A and B are shown apart, each in its own frame.
Chain A
Amino acid sequence: MQASSRRWWWYGVYLAVMLAFGVAVHAAGKRVDYSWRWERIPQYLISDDGTEMKAPFDGFVSIAADQKSLTLKELKGGRTQVLSGFDDLLVGDGDLVFQNDPLARKRGWVAGPLTIGLWMTLKISAIALLFSMLFGLIAGLGRVAKNPAVYGLATSYVELIRGTPLLVQIFIFYFFVGTVLKLSAFTAGVAALAVFTGAYVAEIIRAGIEAIPRGQMEAARSLGMSVPQAMRHVVLPQAFRKTLPPLAGQFINLIKDSSLVSVMALTDLTKAGREVVASTFSPFEVWFTVAAMYLLLTGTLSILVRRLEKKLAHD
């Protein structure tokens, strides 16, 4: 009884501190000369603007009698294009339009720029995560290898990557590697993140392998298993469980680090935030919103990993 009431007391303290912090932030926001316009934010998450249908080429418009479809006849050339399934017409019968002019609009909910940015961040992070696991596993095995060439290569990779800033690596990937190999900004961004995170994953995996008692490898080898067989069936499954928490931390870092690819021509969540700030002049609200969206991604990953840990602990 005593212990539990003391516990409640400390929950109360926690809530009080959090509340005080919130009030302080709110008061600080009031003190500066800034007009908060939270109501502007939702439209950048999701809007009912609908989608516009654009003219594929220059031409004259003719609208059907029932207003349900229109025909675009090319100005110079014989092509015609029939559009239908729209809700609002944006042109009149007989109008001359040019390529990419809006012709009609289809109503409905569409994702706003921040949501599209979130999706881009998620896509970049997910693909980079898969490749960083692959690079990390290979380099991690190289770091425990006896072969001097394999060990040397793996060590150089890890030291080179860990010793230089990610932002600099991103520039190198974008301007040098991307140019030489003719990579798109997306590929270059994913590659930079995967190579960077892979170096850290390699060290985590090396530590995990070295934490498995030597007797495990000896037992597997004495049964006639080759080194790769012993690694795959005996050492790595145990190392994986041990390294799950630090790996999860590294992947959360990956999601956050992905904000740096916004320096390339990639509209991820951070870049989308910058663009929205430019059009709303509401930097406070936008950056708080962007932070909350990152937290949504990292928090979800955290929860998923904790579930996986529990499941593995039960098996």
Chain B
Amino acid sequence: MTDTQADVLIDVRGVCKTFANGVVALQDVSLQVRRGEVVCIVGPSGSGKSTLLRTLNALETISSGDVVVLGQSVHAARVDLDRLRARVGMVFQSFNLFPHKTALENLMLAPLVVSRTPAAEVRTRCEALLAKVGLADKHDAHPAQLSGGQQQRVAIARALAMQPDIMLFDEPTSALDPEKVNEVLDVMKLLAGEGMTMCVVTHEMGFARAVADRVVFMEAGEIVHQAAPASFFDAPDNERLRGFLGQILK
């Protein structure tokens, strides 16, 4: 991995965020993600992980600092957010599939509406994506007819349909029944293996250890520690991280 500036796809610089009710969500957070890197963000609930992820595509505003994604300052006044967001896929904890559309229509909507790609081309690409996440036989199923794991796989395929450069995952397996978690993680491993740049907020330590290039630990709105998974989990040289790992790996 080279260290040139061009390879930094996400550059968070000293971001602070205070909610309207005075709660401090992010405190001077800085984070860089390079092309092809898989970064997992872990930490107790309420530590600001999801908020940080949501500032990356401006679903959340920031109070100060700067977020540069794909070379563009996300929170600048004159940024074409729609265009930028089209290049940054996002997967939500609650799937957020469009319930009035079938699985295939969920995938095809944005490419047709946003990119104005010819319908036949979009259909071919989206069918291939559904097959890739193992749902080739569910084209015409509505979200309500799918299990949670299947819905989340459709949601991943939907984000991929825009052919993004970066994928953001906001606790993608937290709303799933335990036996459905792995089918989603397997799809994410597949993506990581293909070199997709990924930011994953997760509680799945096994996934973080196996797939992440770097694991980031957040607590109380701050990035407390970040390291490669081996040292992160096996030799954590930070008191607060040890406390957290002690809690969850008991």
State the CA gap A224–B83 with chains docked (Å).
Answer: 6
Q: How far is the CB of A312 from chain B (nearest CB, A)?
A: 9
Q: Which residues of B contact A315 (CB under 8 A)?
A: 100
A90 to B94 CA separation, bound complex (whole angstroms)? 81
The stretch of B34-42, B85-93, B178-186 that contacts the partner chain: B85-93
Complex interface: chain B residues within 8 A of A238 (CB): 98-100
- How many angstroms from the CA of A60 to the CA of B50 in the assembled complex? 94
Which chain A residues border B87 with CB–CB below 8 Å? Answer: 224
Judge whether B245 is part of the interface by a CB distance below 8 angstroms. no
* B110 CB contact (under 8 Å) in A213, A215, A225, A241: A225
Q: Which residue of A lies closest to B158 (CB)?
A: A223
Chain A residue at minimal CB-CB distance from B90: A222
A223/B59 in contact, CB under 8 A: no
Q: Which of A218-248 contact B (CB under 8 A)?
A: 218-226, 229, 233-234, 237-238, 241
- Tell me, yes or no, whether A80 is within 8 Å of chain B by CB: no
| Residues of chain B lying within 8 A (CB to CB) of residue A215 | 92, 94, 96
Number of interface residues of A (CB under 8 A): 19
* A219 cross-chain contacts in B, Cβ below 8 A: 90, 92, 96-98, 155
Q: How many residues of B contact A (CB 8 A)?
A: 26
Interface of A is mostly: helix
Alpha-carbon distance A215/B170, docked complex (angstroms): 12
When the two chains form their complex, are residues A224 and B90 in contact, meaning their CB atoms are under 8 A apart? no
Interface residues as binary, A239-263 with B (CB distance below 8 Å gives 1, 0 otherwise): 0010000000000000000000000
Does A224 contact B85, Cβ atoms closer than 8 Å?
Answer: yes
Are A226 and B59 in touch, CB under 8 angstroms?
no
A223 lies within 8 A of B100 (CB): no
Residue of B nearest to A229 (CB): B113
**In the complex, A216 has a CB within 8 A of chain B:** yes
Task: Give complex CA distance A272, B100 in Å.
Answer: 46
- Which of B59, B98, B113, B158 interacts with A216 by CB under 8 Å? B98
Of chain B, the residue at the smallest CB distance from A223 is B110
Contact B159–A237 (Cβ < 8 Å): no
What are 10 A-B pairs at a CB distance below 8 A? A213-B96, A220-B110, A222-B59, A223-B110, A224-B86, A224-B87, A233-B109, A233-B113, A237-B100, A241-B100
Known: A219-B90, A238-B100; 20 extra A-B contacts, CB below 8 A, are A215-B92, A219-B96, A219-B98, A220-B110, A221-B82, A222-B59, A222-B85, A223-B85, A223-B86, A223-B109, A223-B114, A223-B158, A223-B159, A224-B83, A224-B115, A226-B82, A229-B113, A229-B114, A233-B109, A238-B98
